[in-house]
Structures are given as C-alpha cells and as structure tokens.
Amino acid sequence: MVVVSKAIIRLADVSFSYEGAEERALQGVSFTVEKGEFLSIIGHNGSGKSTLAKLLNGLLLPSEGKIEVNGIPTADDAHIWEVRKVVGMVFQNPDNQFVAPTVEDDIAFGMENIGVPPVDMEARIQDALEQVNMTGFRTAEPNRLSGGQKQRVAIAGALAIQPAVLVLDEATAMLDPRGRKEVLEVVQRMNREAGMTVIQITHYLEETLDSDRIIVMDGGRLVGEGTPESVYQQVDWLRRLGLDVPFACDLQYRLQQKGFRFSTLKMTGEGVLDSLWTSD
C-alpha cells in the first residue's frame, strides 16, 4: 500500500545564521505540519520564532537543512512564487506591510503578485474585508489607520490570497483584547470550515489552548512539542524557559501544590472548579 503523507510543510534539520552573527538563530530544527492543522509556536524573545516564520515561505533560506512546502524546496528559486502562494504570512509590525495608497489596492497588489485573475479580485477583497470587519475602509489610506486597523487589513490581504497555510507571527499583538479575540475566531473558523492550515506564533498563551499542537522554542532549538494539555502540564519546565502558563493551568498547578488531586489537566477556570466539587 502506498502511504500518502498529508504533510504540507516539512523541515529537516534546519539551521540558520544571520550574516555576521556569532550564534545561530536556529539550530537543527525538524518538524512537519499536517494539512488542516492548527499549530501554535511559543518561546521567549529571541528563541527563533520569527526567523522560523520567515523560513517557512522562503523569505529566508536555511543555512543548513531543508524546508519543503507541498514538496517544493523553498530554496528552489524557480518555484518560489508557488511556495508564497501556499504560505501566507502576517507579521507583528503592520507599518512595513503596505505598498499601495488604498486598502483595496494593497489587497489587490498581493493578489496580482501570485497571479489571481482580475475578475476574481473584487469578490475576494470584499470577502476578506468582511472576515476582519473592515468593509468600511476599502478606500482608506492604510497609513492613516490605527495599529489595530492596519493589522486587520494586513490579515485581510493574506486571506485574499487564500493560502493553504496562514502564518501569523505575533500578528495580533497590536490589537486590543477584543480585536485579538475576533481575529483568532476568524482564523479558527477558516481552519475549521475551509481547512486552512494555521501556524500562529503568540505570547498570549490563552490563545493556544484550542491548538492541535504546540511547539516550544528555546535558544533556536525546538525543545518541546505536544498537545496543549501535555505542554502546559510541565509548569516548572516552562517557567525555566522564561514562559508562563495559561491561567487555568497555573491555578490547577497551585492547587496541586497544596495537595489537591486532579485526574486530568483542565484548560479552563470552570473546568478546575468543577473538578474540585466533583473530586474528579
């Protein structure tokens, strides 16, 4: 029987050094991302998360090792636009993401780059702006928008490309809690309903609780990987890496220190409370 792999991204022993830097920003990183997966990447500042994101769509190329997107090596110059079509990217700082004088032109520019037929653009712009609640800003000048609005437009631009994989590198950091929740709901819906693969890098750990898998980075290395339950059980280890844990996991951990016993890790405050009453 032929086993067909569903991996959409594959990293094999990837290392990366910035020019002139003494230490490697990434060291021997290997993992695969399955089609349709919702993956979160966590790690403290400088652990290599943004470098990793830029390697995923060929903005940076591995110094050693190999990355394949849909079987295409990112180092293959001739096919780099196919890689960019598959992997959409939104970064933390929206200010350097705009090239056109209006929101709609900016979204159209991104689509032109990957060869979306002009007849499809209108509907895609409308749809993408609806997803992020920004339809009223079609003809606005991107640079005059607030930080949060800019970031919504950047996300709309990425959605309009209809990438199979969306990488969000601290993309909601500029938004207020409500804005962050809305954007997370949009990408969760696209993941669930359209099968879009999502790779989110975030330091808001609460936003990782519904992920299929979490990858933990430290000092340029992948140091941990697993379900949210298995990762957030390791409270002492995460703290040693300079990371916190979500509220409910911390609460449960503290109660355990005081002698309470739980059969499973709860991911919500309600879950912790319920199991206290039922001695689960």
By a kind-dependent CB cut-off of 5 to 8 A, residue 237 interacts, out of Mg ion, ligand ADP, none, with none
| Candidate residues 2, 3, 21, 78; the one interacting with ligand ADP per rule CB under 6 A | 21
Supply the minimum distance, in Å, between the C-beta of residue 217 and Mg ion.
10
Per-residue x/- track, 24-53, ligand ADP (CB under 6 A): -x-----------------x-xxxxxxx--
Q: Quote the tokens at residue 126.
A: 């409308």
Burial label, 268 (beta-carbon count in 10 A; 0-12, 13-18, 19+): middle
- Which residues, 6 or more positions from 148, have their beta carbon under 8 angstroms from its beta carbon? 174, 175, 176, 179
| 120 SS3 class | helix
Supply the minimum distance, in Å, between the C-beta of residue 113 and ligand ADP.
23
The reply on whether position 96 binds ligand ADP by CB under 6 A is no
- What is the spatial distance between Cα 241 and Cα 105, in angstroms, rounded to a whole number? 43
Near ligand ADP in 148-207, by CB under 6 A: none
Near ligand ADP in 99-128, by CB under 6 A: none
**Strand 7-16, strand 26-34: pairing:** antiparallel
By a kind-dependent CB cut-off of 5 to 8 A, residue 46 interacts, out of Mg ion, ligand ADP, none, with ligand ADP
| 106 SS3 class | helix
Per-residue x/- track, 35-74, Mg ion (CB under 5 A): --------------xx------------------------
Helix 103-113 vs helix 147-160: angle between axes, to the nearest 10 degrees?
30
E strands, the chain, in order:
7-16, 26-34, 38-42, 64-69, 72-73, 87-90, 165-169, 197-201, 213-218, 221-226
Give the containing element (helix H, strand E) for 125. helix 118-131
By a kind-dependent CB cut-off of 5 to 8 A, residue 85 interacts, out of Mg ion, ligand ADP, none, with none
Total site size for ligand ADP, rule CB under 6 A: 11
By a kind-dependent CB cut-off of 5 to 8 A, residue 43 interacts, out of Mg ion, ligand ADP, none, with ligand ADP
Q: Closest CB to ligand ADP among 145 and 201? A: 201
Q: In degrees rounded to 5, what are phi and psi of residue 141?
A: -90, 120
Q: Closest CB to Mg ion among 57 and 162? A: 57
Longest alpha-carbon distance in the chain:
64
- What is the spatial distance between Cα 99 and Cα 105, in angstroms, rounded to a whole number? 9
Q: Closest CB to ligand ADP among 47 and 252? A: 47
The reply on whether position 57 binds ligand ADP by CB under 6 A is no
Yes or no: say if 212 and 37 are a contact pair by the CB < 8 Å rule. yes
CA 252 to chain centre: 27
Supply the minimum distance, in Å, between the C-beta of residue 205 and ligand ADP.
15
The reply on whether position 151 binds Mg ion by CB under 5 A is no
Per-residue x/- track, 225-264, ligand ADP (CB under 6 A): ----------------------------------------
Chain residues that interact with Mg ion, rule: CB under 5 A: 49-50
Chain residues that interact with ligand ADP, rule: CB under 6 A: 18, 21, 25, 43, 45-51
